[in-house]
A and B are shown apart, each in its own frame.
Chain A
């Protein structure tokens, strides 16, 4: 089995040992990192028929692309209701070809080209969400911030207080070198809460009158701009890992990430007891006050089509989906499992993961970063995020010019899709 998550290796190996004791089947776990090296390796191995039996993949991303290209087994007949009953309701269809996914796959140039409606190419291994703020608890306390901000205004106030108390390292960081991060992890959750689902999705729609240049779009951009004075110096030159590392090293007091960030911080020596986490909050006059984040599958498990041990591979996937195994895996890997755990198992995950789980919600008023059907299928968040980065932290664009450029890019993506 190959995984692209180094932080999952030890937990997977521990599970593999238990699996071997139960079934006699050995599982070799190999990490291939970083993500692009993993993709290149899969690409090369696929061409030489050298793929492993099982892959850990980005759910609703790599799994569908690999599946469409014929590299993965369709698991739709193997994953039955009993299997699915173990998972959180929000992630049941993750890894499957839904009508939205199928429709998007028909666009020329779609990365999921080749998938068929109803196919399933992965089962969830970890869930979580983007838009989680990590705050240095002790610094915040010394600056007078003792509880998690519940509104955008309180968040800005907390930033202000901590930055005043720690002028050199009180700021906030996110890996703007990969510019989609600030857009998707910070601005979008705030914008969703501020405008509500319909108006938020309209910002990305084909009608530019409701896009980023519209009053709604400008309101979002101007509110988002309030974070500008508090960026950690040089945050625009940091990648995702570098930004997390800067936070772990104390160069920043706030870090924007996802549930998955915790494992990286812990790996790099950050004391999890010194953390306070909370979802990116919406403004106090938001359409959805007390916004919750809907979890979605972050990574999934897939079986390759060239595997000659499909039955063993399926047993391994089933084993990992068991509540007790998933809870142990989550605890060791510091990642949230997709299972609907009982209270005792959930508590075993630890207080930080518990607080993140507490921010999870469901329904149309919770923000699901994994749902992207409202965007054009060729939409590239990196390119749109690069424009946003010019607005803040770079301050080289006004809100008006940023809105115009973002709207123009969306218009061109829709035009390409409708060609």
Chain B
């Protein structure tokens, strides 16, 4: 080890001692003219471009091409099989936004449901994840085990889990059984929690929150563990109790994390549809149809109808909505801060 350091030092010293400065080198080595420097610069730039080329090519194919392709498709009618697209101008957009008596009611209902999800899931996630992180941060023993347990929903979330939830929420599933066992039989849902249009969307929101809490909790926990303890101590010296110091010191300091949690969940709520596809397919009736699911249905579940363009247009409208929501969210958080 020491020898290694010594060698490095010696080499460095040797280089420092032995390498003549540019001025000193002037007589021996051929002087580089302005063209030489330019050539060197270009060579360096070429190497730079060569190194970033794979990433640029990947982005050009997977990013730019698909974005341009998808955007163009939103102005066309196509079913994925026809040799050519039928151009429709803005009619896909106008049909979705009130122009078509077939599609407008579907989009309207899905938009209202999506709005509920977009509001409820991020808020409930914060409301559950932050207290959970606070509790976990206070626990002195088994913190690692508990953290793993609370993180289980995240690592297991997937199609299998959504199927498992389906079984749990069935008329004779675990939830109804539990309610009956603890004497709350009147709260049972005879048609299952996803079979009743009045409870289906709320149930889906609970499942989504269950999936979202682990990451949010971990983010909060990281924030709590990196808090400067002197701030809390100062608050305690000033007479603040646990509740006071949590609400007036800790919570404001967690604002950047809250913004991230809210933004991530708003995005997921707007665009996510897998759980809805697997668990309810938008039903019963249209009580759990959301915009992401309708986009997927128009694209892939329309039995070869030429609605890929409509799906693309709905996707772009969702993108715009996500931008607007993110913008409003940031402004609100800034004002609150």
Spell out A's residues near B (CB within 8 Å).
36, 39-40, 42-43, 46, 61-62, 65-66, 68-71, 108-109, 111, 113-114, 176-179, 233-237, 239, 378, 380, 383, 386-387, 389-390, 393-394, 396, 408-409, 411-413, 415-416
Q: Which of B124-132, B252-260, B303-311 is the interface stretch?
A: B303-311
Chain B residues, Cβ within 8 Å of A66: 81
Chain B residues, Cβ within 8 Å of A394: 197, 284-285
Q: Which of B186-194, B240-248, B328-336 is the interface stretch?
A: B186-194
Chain B residues, Cβ within 8 Å of A236: 191, 195, 283-285
Question: Do B303 and A412 touch (CB < 8 A)?
Answer: no
CA distance A46 to B83 in the complex (A): 10
CA distance A237 to B285 in the complex (A): 10
Residue of A39, A42, A415 with most partner-chain B CB within 10 A: A39
Question: Do A69 and B106 touch (CB < 8 A)?
Answer: no
- Closest CB in chain A relative to B205 CB, distance in Å: 17
Judge if B268 is at the interface, Cβ distance under 8 Å.
no
The A interface is mostly helix, strand or loop, or mixed, namely helix
Question: Do B300 and A71 touch (CB < 8 A)?
Answer: no
Question: Do A43 and B285 touch (CB < 8 A)?
Answer: no
Question: Do B170 and A69 touch (CB < 8 A)?
Answer: no
Minimum-distance CB pairs A-B, first 5? A69-B81, A412-B101, A233-B171, A234-B192, A236-B284
CA distance A266 to B88 in the complex (A): 48
Residue of B197, B302, B303 with most partner-chain A CB within 10 A: B303
Question: Do A237 and B195 touch (CB < 8 A)?
Answer: yes
CB-contact partner of A71 in B81, B197, B303, under 8 A? B81
Chain A residues, Cβ within 8 Å of B171: 233-234
Chain A residues, Cβ within 8 Å of B86: 108
Judge if B80 is at the interface, Cβ distance under 8 Å.
yes
- Closest CB in chain B relative to A57 CB, distance in Å: 11
Known A-B contacts A111-B304, A413-B102; A176 and B283 likewise in contact (beta carbons under 8 Å): yes
Chain A residues, Cβ within 8 Å of B194: 234, 237
- Closest CB in chain A relative to B159 CB, distance in Å: 13
CB-contact partner of B102 in A46, A68, A409, under 8 A? A409
As a 0/1 sequence over residues 163 to 175 of chain B, the CB contacts with chain A under 8 angstroms (1 = contact) are 0001000111000
Chain B residues, Cβ within 8 Å of A390: 197, 285
Residue of A36, A68, A237, A389 with most partner-chain B CB within 10 A: A237
**Pairs across A and B, CB under 8 Å, 11 listed:** A39-B300, A39-B304, A42-B81, A65-B304, A69-B79, A69-B82, A111-B304, A234-B192, A237-B195, A239-B281, A416-B102
Chain B residues, Cβ within 8 Å of A408: 101
Known A-B contacts A111-B306, A179-B283, A233-B192; A383 and B102 likewise in contact (beta carbons under 8 Å): yes
- Closest CB in chain A relative to B170 CB, distance in Å: 6
Known A-B contacts A39-B304, A383-B102; A65 and B81 likewise in contact (beta carbons under 8 Å): yes
CA distance A109 to B78 in the complex (A): 8
Chain B residues, Cβ within 8 Å of A178: 281
Chain A residues, Cβ within 8 Å of B303: 61, 111
Question: Do A389 and B79 touch (CB < 8 A)?
Answer: no
CA distance A225 to B286 in the complex (A): 20
CA distance A234 to B102 in the complex (A): 28
Judge if B301 is at the interface, Cβ distance under 8 Å.
yes
The B interface is mostly helix, strand or loop, or mixed, namely loop
Q: Interface residue tally of chain B, by bracket?
A: 20 to 34
Judge if B7 is at the interface, Cβ distance under 8 Å.
no
- Closest CB in chain B relative to A379 CB, distance in Å: 10
Question: Do B191 and A62 touch (CB < 8 A)?
Answer: no
Question: Do B81 and A46 touch (CB < 8 A)?
Answer: yes
CA distance A209 to B280 in the complex (A): 35
CB-contact partner of A113 in B195, B284, B306, under 8 A? B306
Chain A residues, Cβ within 8 Å of B302: 380
Known A-B contacts A386-B285, A394-B284; A412 and B102 likewise in contact (beta carbons under 8 Å): yes
Chain B residues, Cβ within 8 Å of A411: 101
Chain A residues, Cβ within 8 Å of B300: 36, 39-40
Question: Do B285 and A234 touch (CB < 8 A)?
Answer: no
CB-contact partner of A383 in B82, B106, B284, B306, under 8 A? B106
Chain A residues, Cβ within 8 Å of B77: 108-109
Judge if B100 is at the interface, Cβ distance under 8 Å.
yes
CA distance A387 to B283 in the complex (A): 11
Known A-B contacts A43-B81, A234-B191, A412-B101; A389 and B284 likewise in contact (beta carbons under 8 Å): yes
Question: Do A177 and B280 touch (CB < 8 A)?
Answer: yes
CB-contact partner of A233 in B106, B195, B286, B304, under 8 A? B195
Chain B residues, Cβ within 8 Å of A177: 280-281, 283
CA distance A114 to B306 in the complex (A): 13
Question: Do A61 and B192 touch (CB < 8 A)?
Answer: no
Residue of A40, A178, A233 with most partner-chain B CB within 10 A: A233
CA distance A180 to B254 in the complex (A): 49
Chain A residues, Cβ within 8 Å of B305: 109, 111, 378, 380
Closest residue on chain B to residue A232 by CB atoms = B171
Chain B residues, Cβ within 8 Å of A415: 101
Question: Do B283 and A234 touch (CB < 8 A)?
Answer: no
Question: Do A109 and B280 touch (CB < 8 A)?
Answer: no
Question: Do B102 and A380 touch (CB < 8 A)?
Answer: yes
Contact residues, B278-297 vs A (CB, 8 A): 280-281, 283-286
CA distance A36 to B192 in the complex (A): 27
CA distance A45 to B79 in the complex (A): 15
Chain A residues, Cβ within 8 Å of B100: 412, 416
Contact residues, B41-92 vs A (CB, 8 A): 77, 79-83, 86
Question: Do A113 and B82 touch (CB < 8 A)?
Answer: yes
Residue of B80, B81, B300 with most partner-chain A CB within 10 A: B81
Known contacts A69-B83, A383-B106, A394-B197, then 6 further A-B pairs from the complex at CB < 8 Å, ordered by chain A residue: A71-B81, A111-B303, A234-B195, A389-B285, A413-B102, A416-B101
- Closest CB in chain A relative to B166 CB, distance in Å: 8
CA distance A70 to B79 in the complex (A): 13
Chain A residues, Cβ within 8 Å of B301: 36
CA distance A85 to B305 in the complex (A): 33
Closest residue on chain A to residue B301 by CB atoms = A36
- Closest CB in chain A relative to B174 CB, distance in Å: 14
Chain B residues, Cβ within 8 Å of A409: 101-102
Chain A residues, Cβ within 8 Å of B191: 233-234, 236-237, 393
Chain B residues, Cβ within 8 Å of A43: 80-81
CA distance A234 to B280 in the complex (A): 11
As a 0/1 sequence over residues 132 to 149 of chain B, the CB contacts with chain A under 8 angstroms (1 = contact) are 000000000000000000
CA distance A412 to B98 in the complex (A): 13
- Closest CB in chain A relative to B101 CB, distance in Å: 4
Residue of A108, A236, A387 with most partner-chain B CB within 10 A: A236
- Closest CB in chain B relative to A399 CB, distance in Å: 16
